[in-house]
Amino acid sequence: MRGLWLGLLTVAGCYSPSAPVGLACAPAGSPSRCPAGQECMVRGGTEVCVLAGAGDVDASVIDAPPGDGPADASTDGPPLDAPPNWWNLAWTHRRPIDVTAGTNGMPAGYSIAITIDHAALVGSGASLASGGDVRIVRDDGTPVDRVLDTGAAWNTAATRLWFKADTALAANATARYWVYYGNATPGAPPANPSTVFLFSDDFESGLARWSVDTGVTTTTARVHRGTRSLVTPATTASSRGAYTNGINEANVAWDIWWNIDVPANTDANSSVRGESNSVYLSNLQPPATGQPPTWNIAKYVNSMYSVIIPPPNGATPAVADTWFRVTFYAYADRMAVDINGVRYVPASGFSPVGATTAGSVGVNVYTSTAGVYFDDATLRRFVLPEPVVAIGVQQSLP
């Protein structure tokens, strides 16, 4: 907002040369907006006179957009009046994101998802179709990495993004973040999935982060996104899998995309809590001879395999040459599996499995007459109940 006219003019629109610093600037268009040796800068949303060359370095400054710089009458026009703690005036819109932990709190490093109608923002001219202007910022003004969900895209009505909450929350506590957008020349965003998730791999850089069985490799023959995926060879009653290095977690959501050449008689799984003598599986296999394969929850302990939760009656079977998203949840003694974002087994909620161990995650094929492909893997921390995320109304610069 415009500074108050302080009556320190000797001639209308001109300052006395002996005025102290910190006074409000004269109105735009005045012969001189500040005394000699001073310049007009934005301080805390108000234009004030400071020593020339002091710049906008003190903690109270709200920076003007690039190219706006000092509030010079010949270039600036009306000063910008930003709401409190506006991160960067080069971004013209923002919305608050409130993350509220459930009754079991939220651990540090938790991956948070938000969904926005990005197509509507693009249509109104508020955001770039590429999404390159979208930023997630902590309430203290620190930008954080944000990445697209592996099943999402920019410029859609349901663009899903992920970012990491660095700080743990006690039960029912709330932390605030912001989503900013509205900058035609934003530069490259911070977008490192390995920072957002416990583990992330799109297989574009090989298999250095995995321990793999014989014949498991990457390929360009079939991909979900990008140019490469992981593929296991045909096998009969012999494991061919890939297992993450350096992961030892109990409470996780393990998310990976599958594509199967020949689903009939295929026996394959996503696994969590893998140890030397036990592992828990979301297993795709025929529930009975002659039936199409469907996903269950099973365990393999001390060389003994057993089904914990069978697939529900009428469960949708796997289809050839189709990408399926398999998400395996484990928290304390409860587990569940989503297929393509819909609860699959159990039919609803979570089921007890009688274990709280920690371990690695991976994928494995035990029997298949052709290749099985995996792509776009992410692993994140998981807690029940999950934090509730609420996005507030848009705030905009004038």
Structure confidence by residue, pLDDT tens digits, 66-85: 333 333 333 333 344 577 89
Q: Cα separation of 210 and 206, whole Å?
A: 9
Confidence of residue 50 (pLDDT cuts 50, 70, 90): low
Q: What is the mean pLDDT of the chain?
A: 88
**pLDDT for residue 15 is more than 50:** no
- Our CA angle for 389, 391, 394, nearest 5°, is 170
Q: What is the pLDDT of residue 37?
A: 79
Single-letter residue type at 283: N
Chain-centroid distance of CA 255 in Å reads 14
Which whole-number Å values give the CA distances from 23 to 18, 61, 299, 350, in the listed order? 12, 15, 72, 63
Q: Cα separation of 284 and 271, whole Å?
A: 11
Could you tell me the two tokens for 390? 């609420």
Q: What is the pLDDT of residue 124?
A: 98
Q: pLDDT: is 308 or 49 the higher one? A: 308
Q: What is the pLDDT of residue 119?
A: 99
CATH topology of domain 200-381: Jelly Rolls (2.60.120)
Q: 235-252: per-residue pLDDT in tens?
A: 999 999 999 999 999 999
Omega before 398 cis (within 30°)?
A: no
Task: State the architecture of 93-190 in CATH terms.
Answer: Sandwich (2.60)
φ, ψ of residue 123 in degrees (nearest 5): -60, -30
Q: Cα separation of 354 and 299, whole Å?
A: 11
Section 185-200 average pLDDT: 98
Of the listed ranges 119-128, 289-298, 385-394, the one predicted with least confidence: 289-298
Of the listed ranges 26-30, 187-191, 306-310, the one predicted with least confidence: 26-30
Of 357, 351, 356, the C-alpha closest to 337 is 351
Residues 6+ apart with CB under 8 A from 173: 100, 101, 105
Highest mean pLDDT among 24-28, 36-40, 64-68, 173-177: 173-177
Section 48-52 average pLDDT: 69
Q: Are 65 and 77 in contact (CB under 8 A)?
A: no
SS3 299: strand
Section 113-125 average pLDDT: 99
Domain ranges of the chain: 1-81, 93-190, 200-381
Of 346, 335, 322, 325, the C-alpha closest to 279 is 335
Of the listed ranges 2-6, 100-104, 305-309, the one predicted with least confidence: 2-6
Which whole-number Å values give the CA distances from 254 to 14, 24, 179, 326, 330, in the listed order? 67, 57, 26, 8, 9
**pLDDT for residue 145 is more than 80:** yes
As a whole-number percent, the residues of the chain with pLDDT over 90 amount to: 76
Section 336-361 average pLDDT: 96
Confidence of residue 21 (pLDDT cuts 50, 70, 90): low
Q: What is the pTM of this model?
A: 0.81
φ, ψ of residue 181 in degrees (nearest 5): -160, 170
SS3 379: strand
Q: Cα separation of 374 and 177, whole Å?
A: 33
Confidence of residue 23 (pLDDT cuts 50, 70, 90): confident
Of the listed ranges 28-42, 43-57, 149-163, 366-380, the one predicted with least confidence: 43-57
Section 303-319 average pLDDT: 94
Give the HSE-up count for residue 251: Cα atoms under 13 Å, Cβ half-sphere.
Answer: 16
Confidence of residue 64 (pLDDT cuts 50, 70, 90): very low
Q: For residues 228-245, b (16+ Cβ closer than 10 Å) or e, as one string? A: bbbbbbebeeeebbbbbe
Q: What is the pLDDT of residue 54?
A: 45
Q: What is the pLDDT of residue 211?
A: 98
Confidence of residue 170 (pLDDT cuts 50, 70, 90): very high
Q: Are 109 and 198 in contact (CB under 8 A)?
A: yes
Q: What is the pLDDT of residue 39?
A: 72
Confidence of residue 186 (pLDDT cuts 50, 70, 90): very high
